[in-house]
Amino acid sequence: MQEVQVISERLAANVEKVIVGKHETVELTLIALLCRGHLLIEDVPGVGKTVLAKSIAKSIGCTFKRIQFTPDLLPSDVTGVSVYNQRSGEFEFRPGPVMGQIVLVDEINRATPKTQSALLECMEEGQITVDGVTRPMPSPFLVLATQNPIEYEGTFPLPEAQLDRFLMRVSLGYPARDDEVEILGRQQVVHPIDELSQVAEIQDLLKAQATVRQIYVDKLLRDYVVSLVDATRHHPEVYLGASPRGSLALFRTGQARAAVQGRDFVTPDDIKTLALPTLGHRIIISASGRIRNVTPKDVIDDILRSVPVPGARVGA
């Protein structure tokens, strides 16, 4: 597991040359990358969402693509289109911007549901189908989508099927006062991202992704994961709980967090720490709960308090 820890620390240190004071969010982004999952960053403009995606791509040497979602964007603008070549007399596929390794989907909730759905196949199955031809996505493949939680005019809320495709939802938040002063100093002459160097190879990342899958998860912890997810389906303040994909997300991210910290086994603390990022966006609060301003965080905190944490095995 030391190899995964070393590459994670190297990537985190490099990214934090640009993203100041947000170690937890950077770690969650790396966990998503190690799990081959996708990340939804929900925050106000100007806190570094785009820069975070660019920093990850430059640190690994991945191709970076950016898609600005707007109401007039078409699905073919995302996936690509087949164009007739008069010289050859055949149709040629011209890939869209989603055919990248690190793809930033900016303001994903500004596009229509039809365009949003263009991401469903590539995010879940690692492929896109255009004109009846299925093409694999590059490896690694990570979608970092952003949305503004404040401005709702001219937006289309993400459907549950779309939200469920995201491994985690995180927030950067405003920097602390001292961190913001540090940001001003670092950007006085040039932006730090312009001088960011590559610190890991793509093959190293692919090897780390395979290693994470081998992290040991005890049956007691697997039962704990399922118990937490099942509790979201029966909570009195919840209209719709997390799906089995939520269980798998919590399971996988627990493995990745253990590897990032240099362990070859998952602990209950890993599961508890990742419960909100992996399950919060998969929960729909009931109408009565919304009236009382109940949030997914309130529900997750209540579930973590009520579901017993598994203890050590006898004789282990």
Q: What is the pLDDT of residues 272-294, one digit of tens each?
A: 999 999 999 999 999 999 999 99
Residue 109 sits in the same domain as residue 38: yes
DSSP string over 31-74: HHHHTT--EEEE--TTSSHHHHHHHHHHHHT--EEEEE--TT--
- Amino acid at residue number 227: S
pLDDT digits over 176-194, tens only? Answer: 899 889 888 888 888 888 8
Residue 45: per-residue pLDDT: 79
Is pLDDT above 70 for 175? yes
- Domain harbouring 69, CATH code: 3.40.50.300
Residue 238 sits in the same domain as residue 120: no
> For the residues 155-178, what does the mean pLDDT come to?
86
Residue 91: per-residue pLDDT: 82
Residue 313: per-residue pLDDT: 55
Q: How far apart are CA 198 and CA 201, in angstroms?
A: 8
Average pLDDT taken over every residue of the chain: 88
The structure's pTM equals: 0.89
Residue 148 sits in the same domain as residue 59: yes
Residue 172: per-residue pLDDT: 86
Domain final position from 191, 209, 227: 209
Q: How far apart are CA 157 and CA 112, in angstroms?
A: 9
Residue 140 sits in the same domain as residue 205: yes
Domain that holds residue 284: 215-306
Range among 133-137, 150-154, 231-235 with highest mean pLDDT value: 231-235
Given pLDDT bands bounded at 50, 70 and 90, which one contains residue 151? low
Is pLDDT above 70 for 134? yes
With respect to residue 84, please indicate whether it lies within any of the assigned structural domains. Answer: yes
Residue 112 sits in the same domain as residue 183: yes
Task: Measure Cα distances from 276 to 132, 166, 302 in Å.
Answer: 38, 13, 11
Residue 283 sits in the same domain as residue 148: no
Residue 219 sits in the same domain as residue 144: no
Give the count of alpha carbons within 13 A of 91, CB side only: 10
Residue 39: per-residue pLDDT: 92
Given pLDDT bands bounded at 50, 70 and 90, which one contains residue 266? very high
